[in-house]
Amino acid sequence: MNFTEQEKQTIEAAKSNLKKANVIRIIAVSVMFIALTLYALNVLPQQTLLAALVVIGVVALLAPNLGFGPKYDELVLILQKKLEETERH
């Protein structure tokens, strides 16, 4: 598949955004373990633990779409366009 320069830039930005999302997920898991440890040591109340885990979970799930990188929809459109071009030939 041949990509235009703009498409290549979009793909590179998506790769960069994915790397950032992976770092955010690693940090989120680390914070979860710290929160669980603090709860086990009776330093953190149960309600605070639950609230923290929910927020951390949401951030970890949304991490790929946070920030200024291209969204999933843009990448799907590029691939769909390339698939249609390939099928025509």
CA atoms within a 13 Å half-sphere pointing along the CA-CB vector of 49: 15
Q: What is each CA distance from 48 to 10, 45, 53, in whole angstroms?
A: 39, 5, 9
The domain in which residue 31 lies consists of 5-88
User: Mean pLDDT across the stretch 11-22?
Assistant: 82
Helix (H, G, I), strand (E, B) or coil at 42: coil
- pLDDT for the residue 37: 96
The whole-angstrom distance between residue 44's C-alpha and the CA centroid of its chain comes to: 28
List, for residues 29-69, the tens digit of each pLDDT value.
999 999 999 999 999 999 999 999 999 988 888 877 776 66
| Residue-level pLDDT at 1 | 67
Question: Structurally, how many domains does the chain consist of?
Answer: 1
